[in-house]
Amino acid sequence: MAEQATQQAEQGAERTPQWAMAIDLDRCTGCEACVVACASENNVPTAGEDQAAMGRTKHWIRIDRYYEGEFPDIKVKYRPVMCQQCDEAPCEPVCPVNATYQNAEGLNVQIYNRCIGTRYCANNCPYTVRFFNWFAPEWAEPLNLQLNPDVSIRPSGVVEKCTFCAHKIKRAKLDADADGRDLADGDVQPACVQSCPAEAMVFGDMSDADSKVARQLGSGRAGQLLESLGTKPRVFYLEKAD
């Protein structure tokens, strides 16, 4: 997909952006600002204590944290994990109704109204970033006033996940169109990226060699989560430099 886009650019055709994210683990502090920013941006409902005890919380983005070593030589390894927007996504071929597919810009798109809730996709995701709605979400009034009208409320019986803030990509395109210009690097900032206090996350078009994300991928520290599975994620982690 990325190669194809690069070819398009070389041939002078209008380039289709290839969205990717780089997360610098040397900057990330594990503060979870991204987690709340995502919930706020994307109308991610809270499950409550009882459902949480059954493992039914929805965190489109989470901080995985693991202890390594023993006291006093103990370290914490952590990383933000969201849908990795894989080029070879294990979730896609198992969906019997094509509710999830990769679009031309590299996003794993989820069509909620097409989803029939088999949960095959969630079971097949090695990153456990897909969430099934056992119940319709509820917000005690007036918490419903916080809901973002740009993002749909997912009904019960469907699977939901991180979209790379697809609605913000759309808004950035509309704004660029209104200004009569092309999308510029940095125009699109998913909620997690926008929020990150340590500026650990970068989002952009990896087929544009001048984009910040493309430069970070070439930094020599970039790798992918569970790379050996061959899922080809669009989320890249820059390893700590220590």
Partner 1 sequence: MDRRNFVKLVGTASGGAVTGACGRQAEEIIPLLVPEESVPVGVEQWHPSVCGECSAACGTLARVMASEREIEVDGELVRQKIAAVKKLEGNPLDPVSGGRLCARGHASLQSLYNPDRLRSPMKRVGPRASGQFEAVSWDDAIAEAARALAAADPGRILFLARARGGVRSENIARFLDAIGAPPATSIGVGDFAAEREASTRVFGRSGLPLYEIQDSTLVLSIGADFLGGWASPVLYSRRYGHMRQGRRELRGRLIHAESRLSLTAWNADRWLPVWPGGELALALAIGQVLLSEQIADAPASVVSIFAGVDLEQAAAAAGVPVEAIRQTASELVQASAPVVVAGASMVRQNSADAVAAASALNWLLGCVGKPGGVIPPTETLSLPARQSAFSGDWPERLGQAAVVLVDGVNPAYNAPESQSALAGAETVISFSPFLDDTSAFADLILPDHDPLEQALLEVPAVSPAPSFAAAGEFVAPLYDSRPTATVLSQLAETAERPFEELTVGQAVSTLRSAVGSAGSETSASDFEAEVLRDGGWQGQPSGKPPATPDAVGAFEIASKQEGVVFQAYESPQFGSGSGANRPWLQELPDPTSSALWGLPVEVDPATAAGLGLANGDNVRIRSEHGALEAPVYVNPAAIPGVVSMALGQGHASYGRYASGRGANPMVVVGDARDERTGCPAMGPTPISIEKIAGGARLVQFSRQDRDLPPHRV
Report 197-226 residues binding partner 1 (CB under 8 A).
Answer: 197-200, 223-226
For the chain, the straight-line distance linking the first and the last C-alpha, in angstroms and rounded, comes to: 34
Q: Distance (Å, rounded) from C-alpha 226 to C-alpha 130?
A: 16
Q: Measured from the CB of residue 157, what is the shortest distance to partner 1 in angstroms?
A: 15
Which of 6, 16, 40, 118 touches partner 1 (CB under 8 A)?
40
If binding is defined by CB under 8 A, does position 72 make contact with partner 1?
A: yes
Which of 77, 116, 138, 209 touches partner 1 (CB under 8 A)?
77
Q: Measured from the CB of residue 61, what is the shortest distance to partner 1 in angstroms?
A: 11
The residues in 90-119 that bind partner 1, with binding defined as CB under 8 A, are: 103, 107, 109-114
| Long-range Cβ contact pairs of 76-81 (< 8 A, separation 24 or more) | 76/30, 78/28, 78/30, 79/23, 79/25, 79/28, 79/225, 79/237, 80/23, 80/28, 80/34, 80/192, 80/201, 81/127, 81/129, 81/225
What is the SS3 assignment for 66? strand
Measured CA distances, 241 to 5, 19, 80, 221 (Å):
31, 25, 17, 8
Nearer to partner 1, 4 or 152 (CB): 152
The residues in 52-71 that bind partner 1, with binding defined as CB under 8 A, are: 52-53, 57, 59, 62-68, 70-71
Q: Which residues pair with 64 in a beta bridge?
A: 79
Nearer to partner 1, 12 or 140 (CB): 140
Nearest to 41 by CA among 12, 26, 18, 61: 61
Q: Measured from the CB of residue 101, what is the shortest distance to partner 1 in angstroms?
A: 8
Instruction: Name the segment binding partner 1 (CB under 8 A); options: 1-9, 36-44, 83-91, 203-211.
Output: 36-44
In contact, 91 and 126? CB cutoff 8 Å: no
Q: Measured from the CB of residue 76, what is the shortest distance to partner 1 in angstroms?
A: 4
For residue 111, give the amino acid letter.
I
The residues in 122-181 that bind partner 1, with binding defined as CB under 8 A, are: 140-152, 163, 166-167, 169-171, 174-175, 178
Nearer to partner 1, 111 or 209 (CB): 111
Q: Measured from the CB of residue 78, what is the shortest distance to partner 1 in angstroms?
A: 7
